[in-house]
Structure formats: C-alpha cells, structure tokens
Structure 1
C-alpha cells in the first residue's frame, strides 16, 4: 500500500533520514521503532507530504506521490495522527468530529463508526476538547482521522504519555482495525510488545538509517529489543 524508497530528507541544511526504505503491506501494519531523535516522526512527515525528500520516492498503492501536497494525499486515502494528542481545544468533541465529516458523503455514518471504536467519546460529546484528558484527546485524534475513511493510517506514538487504562483501549482498537482488513497502518511506537503484536513487519531506525528490519509478531520482540539496546 505504501512504499517509501531510499528517502533522504531533513530540515533546512540538516539531513535527518539517509536513504530510508519502509514498506506497508496492503491491509497490514508496519511498525517503526527507535530512540528519540532517530528520525521516526520525520519519516511520517515525509510520507504525508509535510516534508519533501531531497531524493527517493514515496508511492501510495503504486502511484508516485513524492511531490503531491498533503491535501492531495488525504484525498487519495491517507490519514495522519501526529504526536501530542492534537485537537481543536475550544471545540467540543462532537464539533471536532463534525469538522472533519462536513462535506463527506458518509460523514454522519463515519462519525458513528469511529465512536463505536471509542465509546467513551460518546459521553464526552459536549465537552470541549481542551478539557479532555490526554488519553481522551488521543482517542479523539484517532477518531477524527478515521472519519475520513482512510486506506492508510499513519500513527505517531499513539500511546505516549497516556494513562495505562487508556493505553490498553487504544492498543485494542488499533489491533482490531488491523485485524478487520481494509486499512493499512504505519505505526511509530515505543512500546515494543504492542508494536510486535500489531505489525506484520518492523523497522528499527537509528540516526536516520534502518539498522534492523524483519517480520513482526511476538517472536520478533526479542530481536527488536536487542536492536534497540545497541
């Protein structure tokens, strides 16, 4: 579904990714792991079009989208949930979702389906997003992305800084999304156990390079932990 091939990208004159190749299978999950500063978020920003590679290509379902704008990638079925539980703080939960749904043929139905995945948000529909907990805002951020009915979902550390009970709910939801088909996921995650449960393929980044990769699954957890301990 998504092919990031030999991508080099950075900020101004500072290079961050040095020839990185990552693939996401159709209806599957690829996990990207690494320490802070390894280039994981930069990889997602390049995939969604917020950064333009100096070389390399990004393909979505076979189409070269390397020079496409972010809104063009969204129109082609890409959704991005950045780090930091982002939402419009002065809008209610319901308004945050409706803002994304407006103009979409299945907007109302898509909101209902997203709320089925995060039922706690139904009881918070009239609460301003700025008054939600970090975990609730993260659920809202993922729900907003799902309202667009994407073909591929990019998640940047969705469990970071969230209370353990909500982490478990988010993990279960992502695993359920991956299992039901029709959606590919590129997951940046620090929790190795969760990432290996969810992913069919993993990549370990270190200083902007892929230093280890392979098939996911719990059998791979030990190899990933060893790669991260270097």
Structure 2
C-alpha cells in the first residue's frame, strides 16, 4: 500500500531523514519507533506531502505520488492524524465530524460509523472540542480522519499524553481497523508495548536513518531497545 524508496527529506537545505526504504502492505499495521529528534514526524510529513522530498520516491498502492500535493494524496486514499490531539477547538465534537463528512454521499452514515467505533464521543457531540480531555480529542481526531474512508491511515504518536485506559482503547481500535480489511496503518509511536502489539512489522529510526527493522514478536523488543540504545 505504501512504498518509500531511498527517501530523503528535511527543511531548507538540511536533510533530516536520509535514504529511507520502507513498506506497508495491504491491511498491515507497521510501526516506526525512535527517540525524539530521530526524524519520525519529518518522515511522515514527507509521506503526506506537507514537505517535499529531497530525493527518492513515495508510492501509494503502486502509483508514484512523490510530486503530488497533500490534498491529492488525501483524495488518493491517505489520511494523516498529527500528534497533539489536534481539533477545531471552538467547534463542537459533532461540528468537527461534519466538517469532513459534509458533501460526502454517505456523510451521515460515516459519522454514525465512527461514533459506533468511538462510543465515548456520543455523549459529547454538543461539547466544544477544546473542552474535551486529551484522550477524547485523540479519538475525535482519528474518527475525523476515518470519515475520509482512507486506504492508508498515518498516526503520529496517538498515545502521547493519553491516560492508560484510553491508550488500550486506541490500540484495540487500530488492531480492529486493520483486521476488518481495506485499511493499512503506519504508526509512529514511542510506547514500545503499544507499537509492537499493534503492528506486524517495525522500523527504528536513529539519526534520520533506519537503524533496524523486522517482524514483531519474540525478540523484537530486545532488538528495538538495542537499536535505540535504551
């Protein structure tokens, strides 16, 4: 579903991430891990087109999208949830969802589907999004992204600053989404337990390059910790 080949990106003339080869298969969850400053968010921003590639290619489902702007990549099936539980704080929970759903043929049905997936939001539809807890805002951000019916969901630190019980809910949702079929997930996560439990494969970034990668399972946590020098 996603294929990065020799991808380099950064800001100005400074390359933050260099020579990245990475794949996310159809209906697969893949985790990217690494310390702060390793280049994880920069890499995601290049994948969705928020910053240009300095070299290499980004392909979505076999089609080269390296030169496409972000809105075209979204139309092609990417959805991006940046870190920080971002929402339109002055709008209600329902208004946040309607912003994305309005104009879509299945708009009302898509909102209903997301409320079934995140039932905690049902009782908060009239509340300003800025007054929600961090966990509630994160669920809203993911629900809003899923309304676009993506083929690839990109999550940047979805558990950052979230209470443990909501972390478990988000993990279960990510696993369930991939199991249903029709959606691949690229997950940037520092919570090792979550990252390795939710994903089938992982990559570790260090100094803007891939330090290690492999399948999750027995021995994976040791390999990740060694690659991150924990």
Out of 68-77 and 210-219, give the one that drifted further: 210-219
Check whether the contact 1:197–1:218 (CA below 8 A) recurs between aligned residues.
no
Matched with 1:18 is 18
Deviations 1:70-110 (A, max 9, x none): 00001011100001000000100000000000111111111
Matched with 2:89 is 89
Matched with 2:105 is 105
Unaligned runs of 5+ in 2: none
Matched with 2:59 is 59
Deviation at 1:194, TM superposition (A): 1.2
Aligned to 1:86, the other structure's residue is in SS state: coil
1:71-220 equivalent positions in 2, closer than 5 A: 71-217=71-217, 219-220=219-220
Deviation at 1:157, TM superposition (A): 0.4
Check whether the contact 1:9–1:15 (CA below 8 A) recurs between aligned residues.
yes
Out of 5-14 and 61-70, give the one that drifted further: 5-14
Out of 210-219 and 18-27, give the one that drifted further: 210-219
Out of 128-137 and 174-183, give the one that drifted further: 174-183
Give the Cα separation in 1 of the matches to 2:111 and 2:217. 31
Deviation at 1:228, TM superposition (A): 1.7
Check whether the contact 1:205–1:212 (CA below 8 A) recurs between aligned residues.
yes
Check whether the contact 2:79–2:153 (CA below 8 A) recurs between aligned residues.
yes
Aligned to 1:126, the other structure's residue is in SS state: coil
Deviation at 1:219, TM superposition (A): 4.3
Structure 1 residue runs of 4 or more that deviate by more than 6 Å after TM superposition:
none
Give the Cα separation in 1 of the matches to 2:42 and 2:11. 9
Check whether the contact 1:7–1:18 (CA below 8 A) recurs between aligned residues.
yes
Give the Cα separation in 2 of the matches to 1:112 and 1:216. 34
Aligned to 1:190, the other structure's residue is in SS state: coil
Check whether the contact 1:81–1:155 (CA below 8 A) recurs between aligned residues.
yes
Aligned to 1:5, the other structure's residue is in SS state: strand
TM-score, L = length of structure 1 = 0.97
1:36-51 equivalent positions in 2, closer than 5 A: 36-51=36-51
Check whether the contact 2:15–2:54 (CA below 8 A) recurs between aligned residues.
no
Check whether the contact 2:93–2:140 (CA below 8 A) recurs between aligned residues.
yes
Give the total of aligned pairs.
230
Give the Cα separation in 2 of the matches to 1:60 and 1:81. 17
